[in-house]
Amino acid sequence: ASAIKQEVAQDIAEFSENASQVLSKRVGGKANMWCELNKAVVRATAALGPPRELMTALDPAALCFYDVQKHPGVRGCVALTIDDAPCHVPENENCMLSEVRELLAEFEAKATFFLCTDFVPGHEKDLLSLLRDGHEVANHCGAD
């Protein structure tokens, strides 16, 4: 575990250096900067090894999956998450949230909707309906 922590610390240092270089360039404006920073994060994280092993090394109490041997009740279950919800379009008639809700209901599936707070206005009633249906909502961020 100590060797993994040292490797993680080294990779984080390299990531910080790469991020500083990306931030100092600012090529193509703010949007490109965030895109390049995101790519650097993904590359640095992927270089650390398999995600499950990484999470265990960073925080032994973290759980990012359920072992079917230890928790047989999770066999066949999938965690469905929907990112950047509810909809980037403020007009309800152009939003597919109702269709997604109907599809989930048809298959008796539940999902977690990660909300972009900038996208919530105008969709409050739909979000309440999702909660009443037993879905979860979580805070993701503002708009990317």
Instruction: Tell me the mean pLDDT in the region 31-48.
Output: 69
pLDDT for the residue 64: 65
* pLDDT score for 133: 94
Kindly state the average pLDDT of the residues 98-124. 88
pLDDT confidence bin for 123, thresholds 50/70/90 = confident
User: What pLDDT is attached to residue 62?
Assistant: 65
Q: Distance (Å, rounded) from C-alpha 104 to C-alpha 110? A: 7
Specify the higher pLDDT residue, 38 or 25.
38
CB 134 within 8 A of CB 110: yes
